[in-house]
């Protein structure tokens, strides 16, 4: 049966994915120029997961993410100018330059933070959902983690928690096949994330994470039952990281042919091919790409010009009682 496409929706996704890609290309450029001094973990090639999932979240819904979280954060509605300043450690960054890429967060849009510890956001998400339930609020929590996280305790403990307390959490295993720079399959027993989730009583849906339409459809279809309080669900989105683990990873642990082949499944290109089959004005697609690049070039230029945080920032927001501004020692 031929799918009926919601063209406007797909175009919004296309623009969002282009913006995520352009943001990360700009971040990589910043890294090349030695303006990003800490590690950044680009998600180039994984944009369909960010867009397909986060597009289905409401503004009041909550999101937690991983060290590879630029795309998720942007897709949740964060301001890229604030994000880029954070990557460059500048004043006006989301954490006043104190967190950097791995702790990107924007609480004003419900993005409760990327986490530098693999899997740590899983039970934090369950707890956020527990609070939502206690406070009798309607929103849900989305917890995105990688396939590397399924071998850590929080995956077991956090999923179990969400099941036992019937919490409104959408777990998303963004499975790019690599735990850092090691193939996850080589270090993982059993049948992978979906099987493990199901064993804990969390129903799961596995999708081609490079197929935006599939990810979007899966997220859209599981959302109502989570919102109705019927407990958590997990989406396993199979994807591939098209660049190194970090900006400085020479990516020597996988054959070039494998990466080149994966580029042929670039999710942005795939969505574009679908849209090219419709009767839209094809110039729109190019326009999206150009406008995204222009936007993020501007974001980068602005961040570059931004000042360092004032030194007083170092001592702010540690704690109230025992504040280092009163007693650092």
Partner 1 sequence: MPTMTYAEAAKQALAEEMRKDSTIWALGEDLGRGGVFGQYRGMVEEFGPERIVDTAISEAAILGAAVGAAMTGTRPLVEMRFADFALCAIDELVNQAAKARYMFGGQTRVPLVVREPIGMWRSSAAQHSQSLESWYCHIPGLVVVCPSTPNDNFGLMKSSLGCDDPVVFMEHKNLWSIESEVDERNSIPLGEARTAREGKDLTMVTWSSTFHEAMYAADALSQEGIDVEVIDLRTLWPWDKTTVLNSVEKTGRLLVAHEAVQVGGFGAEIVATVADRAFSSLRAPIKRIGAPRVPIPYAPPLEDLLRVTSEGITVVARELIRSGI
Site for partner 1 in 162-221 (CB under 8 A): 164
Site for partner 1 in 120-139 (CB under 8 A): 120, 122-132, 134-135
For the chain, the maximum distance between any two Cα atoms, rounded to a whole number of angstroms, is 69
Q: How far is the CB of 16 from partner 1 (least distance, A)?
A: 23
Half-sphere exposure for 220 (CA within 13 Å, toward CB) = 10
Q: How far is CA 269 from CA 194, 266, 284, in A?
A: 27, 5, 14
Q: How far is the CB of 317 from partner 1 (least distance, A)?
A: 4
Site for partner 1 in 85-114 (CB under 8 A): 93-99, 103, 105-108, 112-113
Among the residue ranges 12-20, 25-33, 211-219, 313-321, the one whose residues contact partner 1 (CB under 8 A): 313-321
Nearer to partner 1, 93 or 232 (CB): 93
How far apart are alpha carbons 100 and 247 in whole angstroms? 14
Instruction: Report DSSP letters for 239-308, one per residue.
Output: ----S-SSTT----SS-HHHHHHHHTT-HHHHHHHHHHTTTS-THHHHHHHHHHHHHHHHHHHHHHHSPP
Nearer to partner 1, 84 or 218 (CB): 84
For residue 322, state whether it binds partner 1 (rule: CB under 8 A).
Answer: yes
Q: Which positions from 40 to 79 touch partner 1 by CB under 8 A, shown as an x/- string?
A: ----------------------x-x---------------
How far apart are alpha carbons 225 and 280 in whole angstroms? 34
Q: How far is the CB of 53 from partner 1 (least distance, A)?
A: 19
Contact 72, 144 (CB under 8 A): yes
Among the residue ranges 22-30, 270-278, 293-301, 319-327, the one whose residues contact partner 1 (CB under 8 A): 319-327
Contact 111, 105 (CB under 8 A): yes
Tell which one of 60, 153, 198, 287 touches partner 1 (CB under 8 A).
153
User: Site for partner 1 (CB under 8 A): how many residues?
Assistant: 51
Nearer to partner 1, 190 or 329 (CB): 329
Contact 141, 129 (CB under 8 A): yes
Other CB atoms within 10 Å distance of the CB of residue 291: 14
Q: How far is the CB of 324 from partner 1 (least distance, A)?
A: 7
Nearer to partner 1, 64 or 204 (CB): 64
Q: How far is the CB of 219 from partner 1 (least distance, A)?
A: 21
Among candidate residues 174, 186, 194, 167, the one with its CA nearest the CA of residue 62 = 167
For residue 316, state whether it binds partner 1 (rule: CB under 8 A).
Answer: yes
Burial state string for 256-274 with b = 16 or more CB within 10 A and e = fewer than 16: eeebeebeeebbbebbbeb
Residues near partner 1 (CB under 8 A) are 62, 64, 93-99, 103, 105-108, 112-113, 115-117, 120, 122-132, 134-135, 141, 153-154, 157-158, 160-161, 164, 316-322, 324, 327, 329
């Amino acid at each position: 049966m031929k799918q009926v496409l919601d063209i406007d929706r797909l175009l919004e996704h296309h623009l969002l994915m282009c913006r995520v890609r352009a943001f990360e290309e700009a971040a990589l450029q910043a890294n090349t120029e030695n303006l990003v001094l800490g590690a950044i973990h680009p998600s180039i090639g994984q944009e369909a997961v960010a867009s397909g999932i986060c597009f289905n979240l409401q503004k009041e819904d909550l999101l937690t993410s991983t060290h590879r979280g630029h795309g998720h954060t942007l897709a949740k509605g964060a301001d890229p100018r604030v994000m880029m300043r954070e990557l460059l450690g500048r004043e006006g960054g989301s954490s006043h330059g104190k967190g950097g890429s791995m702790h990107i967060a924007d609480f004003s849009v419900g993005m409760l933070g990327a986490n530098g510890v693999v899997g740590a956001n899983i039970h934090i998400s369950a707890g956020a959902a527990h609070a939502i339930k206690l406070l009798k609020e309607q929103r849900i929590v989305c917890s995105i983690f990688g396939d590397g996280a399924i071998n850590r305790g929080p995956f077991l403990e956090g999923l179990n928690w969400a099941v036992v307390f019937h919490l409104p959490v959408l777990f998303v295993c963004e499975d790019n096949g690599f735990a850092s720079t090691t193939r996850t399959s080589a270090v993982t027993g059993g049948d992978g994330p979906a099987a493990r989730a199901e064993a804990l009583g969390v129903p799961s849906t596995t999708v081609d994470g490079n197929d935006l339409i599939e990810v979007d459809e899966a997220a859209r279809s599981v959302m109502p039952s989570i919102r109705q309080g019927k407990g958590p669900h997990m989406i396993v989105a199979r994807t591939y990281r098209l660049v190194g683990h970090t900006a400085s990873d020479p990516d020597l642990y996988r054959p070039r042919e494998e990466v080149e082949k994966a580029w042929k499944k670039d999710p942005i290109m795939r969505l574009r091919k679908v849209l090219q089959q419709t009767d839209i004005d094809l110039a729109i697609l190019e326009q999206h790409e150009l406008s995204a690049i222009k936007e993020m070039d501007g974001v980068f230029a602005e961040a570059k010009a931004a000042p360092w945080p004032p030194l007083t920032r170092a001592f702010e927001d540690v704690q109230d009682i025992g504040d280092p501004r009163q007693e650092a020692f």
